[in-house]
Amino acid sequence: MFKFIAFIAGYYFFGFFGALLGLFVGSMIDRFRDYGSGGINPLQNAQRQTVFLETMFVSMGKLAKADGRVSPEEIAHAEGMIKQLGMTPEHRTRAIELFKQGASPDFAIEPIYTRFMAVCGHTRQLKKILLVYLITMAVADGHMHAAEEALLADMSGHLGYTPSDFKQLVDMVLNQSHFAGGKPSTAAALDDAYKALGVTKDHTDQEIKRAYRKLISQYHPDKLIGQGLPADMIAMATEKAKEIQLAHDMIKQTRNI
């Protein structure tokens, strides 16, 4: 958008070379708006990837320990998630180390989130993607335990979420998960579809379309990588996008839009 405006303005005021300069500057502005400063500065992007990885798996370990003990099932789930992500051997080894670190009884999570906010807090989507991934893990068995919800609520507070925003996000992620695997898994699928998009039946077709487009845009692989999401964590974002797509398709069919 900005690159075209800058191109025209540059040509109008300075001719051909002004147009080229305007196109370059406008492209940089567009890239910053879409991807954050990491899209322009590769070193900062690499730092965000490292911090995201650390925060993600330390938090997973902390969640597994939330009820007082780390069960074999929770360890197996974490290992399965790491395998599903298709992580590089180096990232896989580091993720397991971080998981164990977070599961330590005396481990304090606050400094981890202070660092995350300092490095990643100004990006558009990394905070939300982190929280969505952690909620997805917590509701993998179909519900969320009270201890997990309390810990996640605390983590969301460190990320700047209000209690009401956190509850809405949990509801959306839980209902999106009903569309995992390619088809809705509950009898009340249409109600789930509306909740998955964060809307209700009272919203207009246009409002629902806007909500859908906004969600899909947030899970765009290029944008997430540009903001600092490790490339081997994109698979989960892609799955969430598929769930959102299925929910929207169901609503479209019932509304004939």
Q: How far apart are the first and last CA of the chain?
A: 28
The residue type found at 44 is Q
C-beta separation of 134 from 112 below 8 A:
no
| pLDDT at residue 53 greater than cutoff 90 | no
pLDDT in tens, 246-256: 999 999 988 87
Mean pLDDT, to the nearest integer, of 137-158? 85
pLDDT in tens, 31-46: 445 545 444 444 467 8
Sign of the torsion formed by the C-alpha atoms of 242, 205, 222 and 176: negative
Structure tokens at 173: 């992620």
| pLDDT at residue 2 greater than cutoff 90 | no
CB atoms inside a 10 Å sphere around CB 64 = 23
Q: Could you tell me the pLDDT band of residue 186, with boundaries at 50, 70 and 90?
A: low
C-beta separation of 234 from 221 below 8 A:
yes
C-beta separation of 123 from 99 below 8 A:
no
Helix (H, G, I), strand (E, B) or coil at 95: helix
Instruction: Pick 223 or 173 by higher pLDDT.
Output: 173
Structure tokens at 53: 């990885």
Question: Which pairs with CB-CB distance under 8 Å and at least 24 residues apart come from 216-220?
Answer: 216/241, 216/244, 216/245, 218/124, 218/125, 218/128, 218/129, 219/244
